[in-house]
Amino acid sequence: MARKSIQELIAQATANFPDNVTGLITPAALRNWAIDFLNAISPAYGYLTQPGPNTQVFGLTPALVVFSTAFDSNPAETTSAVPASTIQRAEKGTSTIQFTADLETNNGRFVTFTIYKNGVATSWRITGNGGGAGNPVSVSLTAVDYADPAATYSVEATCETNGTSVILSNMVM
């Protein structure tokens, strides 16, 4: 059953629950509305991870950040894909996107991670400043997408110098 928006639930409640002076509110109508409501607010999530160290090369041109594993709590609502490194939201609702990673690269080298929505860069980004060999730096960002339609999310990274080797670990989106 498709997830209903809050506006759809309000319309359904208005139609199905008149003043009960004539007994029009049935247990079945109430039960079905409650099930629709619970489905509308139940969390559906997908995530991508890259737990161990993984070296990627970044430069001036945005490059896809590669994850190694994917999980979906409800495959009818989210599709997390490896090696595409995307999470697709198929149902209505607010999406919270969280990205965290430990990066290790040359001292003073800036690496910027940008969330992409439907293949287009968003304003959601975080920059980490490399701490040198053996000194990982953590970056983390949280974005909330209030748009109701389905979308596909990914992360791409850039560095101010082409050919910069970056070791990524403890990475989750």
In whole angstroms, give the CA distance from residue 15 to residue 63: 50
Q: Give the mean model confidence (pLDDT) for residues 112-123.
A: 96
Task: Evaluate if residue 159 carries a pLDDT over 90.
Answer: yes
In whole angstroms, give the CA distance from residue 55 to residue 69: 16
pLDDT reported for residue 64: 97
Closest CA to 29 of 41, 12, 8: 12
Greater model confidence, 54 or 2:
54
Q: Give the mean model confidence (pLDDT) for residues 33-44.
A: 80
In whole angstroms, give the CA distance from residue 169 to residue 100: 9
Task: Evaluate if residue 36 carries a pLDDT over 70.
Answer: yes
pLDDT reported for residue 148: 64
- Confidence class for position 1, pLDDT limits 50, 70, 90: low
Q: Give the mean model confidence (pLDDT) for residues 41-52.
A: 88
Q: Which of 2-6, 11-15, 88-92, 106-110 has the highest mean pLDDT?
A: 106-110
Per-residue pLDDT tens over the stretch 81-111: 999 999 998 877 788 999 999 999 999 999 9
Task: Evaluate if residue 130 carries a pLDDT over 80.
Answer: yes
In whole angstroms, give the CA distance from residue 27 to residue 20: 12
In whole angstroms, give the CA distance from residue 128 to residue 138: 7
Q: Which two tokens stand for residue 9?
A: 């639930």
How far CA 112 is from CA of 16, 25, 46, 130, 143, in Å, comes to: 51, 56, 23, 11, 15
In whole angstroms, give the CA distance from residue 114 to residue 142: 11
Task: Evaluate if residue 139 carries a pLDDT over 90.
Answer: yes
pTM (predicted TM-score): 0.79
